């Protein structure tokens, strides 16, 4: 049980965390700060926060738990603004989708206070941003990745693990490097592809006519293209190397498939498609074995 959550950033992720803590009876009071006063107003009206702070520093004053839920690009400025007030006994976490950049920033800015900072990435989201989409159940049943450093206080890692577990999450630990490689593959690249694909269709001369014919496959494939552009701009830039590496692997397979189409080589094309269809079907059921055409890269 925490007495006071200092919430810096009251958007979808931060707001949902505050609501989840309240729902679980894990916090008495939430003091929230947001760059936009209208966000803190809405957050207070929705019961996401109890008190609106006028600065990040004010939000963490008296807190025994701090959550940084700002766009990745604002992490450094925010940590600089609050670092001298951080109590080494207070658990500080972020919720960013990239971890190498956050860890690097924290190492640079926090100095000896690094020990109480536990970088966290809850694998949850919505394609609608903002506090108005905050949801007490957003994190329930989801995975949360923690990427502690050798300097991180083990007690803080335990406290973070207990906290997310109490919200119904499955907690995993990884290095920041492994985290960023994995999420470039399963999250960042699909977002980039969905943005690029929707843009390409919509910007054609007949794009609006085409879009009026789109069905449920299109709807699901492009759902993530409605995601927050500022959040995703920051993620793509922060995880540039891994995202571009994943895109090269994707393009290599797309090239192969298109060559088979171009050559009207039905056999080759089917050999490329069939193991994918089978593997995706098994993945959905949690039964994915090695792909029959798996080639280590």
Q: Which 16-35 positions form the footprint of a second copy (CB under 8 A)?
A: none
Rounded Cα–Cα distance for residues 95 and 75 (Å):
11
Find the Cα–Cα–Cα–Cα dihedral 174, 175, 180, 185, rounded to 10°: -50
Q: Is 164 in the site for a second copy (CB under 8 A)?
A: no
Which of the ranges 22-30, 35-43, 152-160, 207-215 carries the binding residues for a second copy, by CB under 8 A? Answer: 207-215
Question: Token pair of 8, please?
Answer: 């810096």
Query: What does the chain come to in residues?
Result: 297
Binders of a second copy in range 249-268 (CB under 8 A): 249-254, 257-258, 261-262, 264, 266
Q: Is 211 in the site for a second copy (CB under 8 A)?
A: yes
Q: Is 77 in the site for a second copy (CB under 8 A)?
A: no
Smallest gap from residue 258 Cβ to a second copy (A): 6
Q: Is 170 in the site for a second copy (CB under 8 A)?
A: no
Rounded Cα–Cα distance for residues 168 and 154 (Å):
21
Neighbour count for residue 24 (Cβ, 10 Å): 15
Smallest gap from residue 149 Cβ to a second copy (A): 20
Q: Is 105 in the site for a second copy (CB under 8 A)?
A: no
CB of 9 within 8 A of CB of 34? yes
Q: Is 277 in the site for a second copy (CB under 8 A)?
A: yes
CB of 46 within 8 A of CB of 131? yes
Q: Given candidates 84, 112, 287, 295, which one binds a second copy under the rule CB under 8 A? A: 295
Site string for a second copy, 138-157 (x = CB under 8 A): ----xx-x------------
Helical (H) or strand (E) element with 6: strand 2-8
CB of 239 within 8 A of CB of 180? yes
- Classify residue 112 as exposed, middle or buried by CB count within 10 Å of its CB (0-12, 13-18, 19+): exposed
Q: Given candidates 25, 112, 150, 215, which one binds a second copy under the rule CB under 8 A? A: 215
Nearer to a second copy, 83 or 142 (CB): 142
Q: Is 177 in the site for a second copy (CB under 8 A)?
A: no
Rounded Cα–Cα distance for residues 96 and 11 (Å):
13
Q: Given candidates 51, 73, 133, 140, which one binds a second copy under the rule CB under 8 A? A: 73
Q: Given candidates 48, 56, 124, 169, which one binds a second copy under the rule CB under 8 A? A: 124
- Strands lying side by side in the sheet with 120-122: 120-122, 143-146, 170-173
Q: Is 130 in the site for a second copy (CB under 8 A)?
A: no
Which of the ranges 21-29, 58-66, 83-91, 269-277 carries the binding residues for a second copy, by CB under 8 A? Answer: 269-277
Binders of a second copy in range 217-236 (CB under 8 A): 217-230, 232-234, 236
Q: Are strands 143-146 and 170-173 parallel, antiparallel or unpaired?
A: parallel
CB-side neighbour CA atoms (13 Å) of 16: 21
Site string for a second copy, 83-102 (x = CB under 8 A): --------------------
């Amino acid at each position: 049980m925490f007495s006071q959550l200092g919430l810096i950033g009251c958007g979808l992720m931060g707001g949902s965390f505050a609501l989840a803590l309240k729902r679980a009876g894990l916090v008495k009071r939430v003091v929230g700060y947001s760059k936009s006063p209208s966000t803190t107003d809405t957050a207070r009206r929705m019961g996401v926060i109890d008190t609106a702070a006028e600065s990040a520093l004010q939000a963490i004053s008296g807190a025994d738990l701090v959550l940084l839920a700002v766009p990745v690009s604002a992490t450094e400025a925010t940590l600089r603004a609050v670092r001298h007030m951080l109590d080494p006994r207070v658990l500080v976490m972020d919720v960013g989708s990239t971890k190498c950049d956050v860890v690097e920033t924290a190492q640079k800015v926090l100095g000896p206070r690094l020990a109480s900072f536990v970088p966290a990435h809850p694998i949850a989201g919505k394609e609608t941003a903002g506090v108005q989409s905050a949801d007490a159940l957003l994190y329930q049943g989801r995975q949360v990745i923690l990427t502690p450093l050798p300097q991180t206080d083990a007690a803080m890692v335990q406290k973070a693990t207990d906290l997310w577990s109490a919200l119904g999450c499955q907690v995993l630990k990884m290095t920041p490097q492994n985290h960023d490689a994995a999420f470039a593959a399963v999250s960042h690249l699909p977002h980039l592809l969905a943005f690029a694909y929707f843009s390409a269709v919509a910007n054609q001369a007949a794009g609006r006519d085409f879009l009026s014919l789109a069905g449920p496959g299109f709807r699901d494939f492009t759902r993530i293209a409605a995601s927050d552009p500022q959040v995703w701009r920051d993620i793509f830039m922060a995880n540039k190397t891994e995202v571009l590496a994943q895109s090269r692997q994707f393009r290599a397979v797309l090239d192969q498939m298109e060559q088979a189409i171009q050559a009207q080589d039905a056999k080759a094309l089917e050999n490329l498609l069939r193991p994918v269809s089978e593997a995706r079907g098994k993945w959905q059921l949690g039964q994915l074995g090695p792909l029959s055409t798996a080639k280590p890269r």
